[in-house]
Structure 1
Amino acid sequence: MGDLLGTFSASLYLIGDRFKKLLEENAIGGWRAYPTICEGLQSPGEWWVLGIAGRGGSVRTGQEAARAGLDPLDQGLDPREWDGSDLFHPANEGTILVTTRAAQVLERAHLKNVVLERTGFTPISR
């Protein structure tokens, strides 16, 4: 079945016990797990709604990126607007972003149904 299940909402996911335990044991921050009941879902363990509590600033693109000193075709995030969480949402997107440390933990675990993609975000320095 997997360790991560998507829902009909683009940024709402369910995580299995294995995924939850991995986040807890590695002190990955910026998330919460909410218990849920999945009627009709045959599974050996429990499922949890993954809540992303970590926050970052707005993704800057186009002219806003250019004003920050980036190529207008780049996407940028200002690290000063990020709360330091390992899992976080940019202020203006529902995308879930992960730190390099969290990505390494997730990749080493070989979780099922978990695919990480590089974002291509450029840090904005002022």
Structure 2
Amino acid sequence: MNMDLKSRFNHFYRFTVGMIEGPMTVAPINNNDIATKDRRNFFRGDFTNVRPEVFVEVDGNKVYDFIVAGAPSFYLISDKVVNALRENSITGWGAYPVTIRTKSMGGINNYHALYITGKAFKADRTLAEKIEVVLPNKKKKIKDKGYYFPLDSWDGTDIFYHIDTFGITVTEKVKNLFESLNITNVKFEKCTEYIWA
């Protein structure tokens, strides 16, 4: 493995929600009327055809700082997250206030729809190293390890998506900030440790 390549990606993390037990998931109130292509555009801030502002509870009943919002990589974030991002000058994102309608808690108004404005090209899988992994069924399989995107395509923001994918990457600054504030329902995986499905 090229150690120089690894060292250049040591401060980048793949970002997803944490998939912890019982998190609430939501969807726009008119989700069935929204075209799939429009939902795919939400997470990168393209609200050309629709900008959802009212969301309804779909599943789960535990409210965390990040809530999955009915489209790939599209999340609602708490006031706590918005304030943290603003106060620490985190770049590459935007948000607008939304309402969540729930059966058990009524209306929730302290959340915002998060969208990602930072960007970079998608990862070049040919740069990943080949490793052997043991699957849950005890079989061994060769997988690709490492999420390496063209650094010259990255716009320098702290939170960014990869063009033509739903993947989100963040800088170490974001990871450290979220961990220091105990932001809930988030998961980080170092790009150098990422194992492709």
Q: Give the TM-score taking structure 2 as reference length.
A: 0.53
Equivalent position to 2:85, from 8, 23, 29: 23
Cα deviation code 1:27-74 (max 9, x no counterpart):
000000022121227376511000000001121113xx3xxxx64744
Higher strand share: 2
Equivalent position to 2:177, from 96, 100, 105: 105
The Cα RMSD (Å) is: 2.2
1:46 pairs with 2:107: no
Q: How does 1:34-113 map to 2 (within 5 A)?
A: 34-40=96-102, 42=105, 46-62=110-126, 65=127, 71=129, 73=144, 74-113=146-185
Distance in 2 (CA, whole Å) between partners of 1:100 and 1:22 is 15
Distance in 1 (CA, whole Å) between partners of 2:116 and 2:91 is 9
Give unpaired runs (5+ residues) of structure 2.
Answer: 1-62, 131-143
Q: Report the CA distance shift for 1:117/1:75 in structure 2 as closer, same or farther (over 3 A).
A: closer
What is the percentage of aligned positions where both structures have the same residue?
26
Distance in 1 (CA, whole Å) between partners of 2:108 and 2:180 is 23
Larger radius of gyration: 2
Distance in 2 (CA, whole Å) between partners of 1:121 and 1:90 is 18
1:5 pairs with 2:77: no
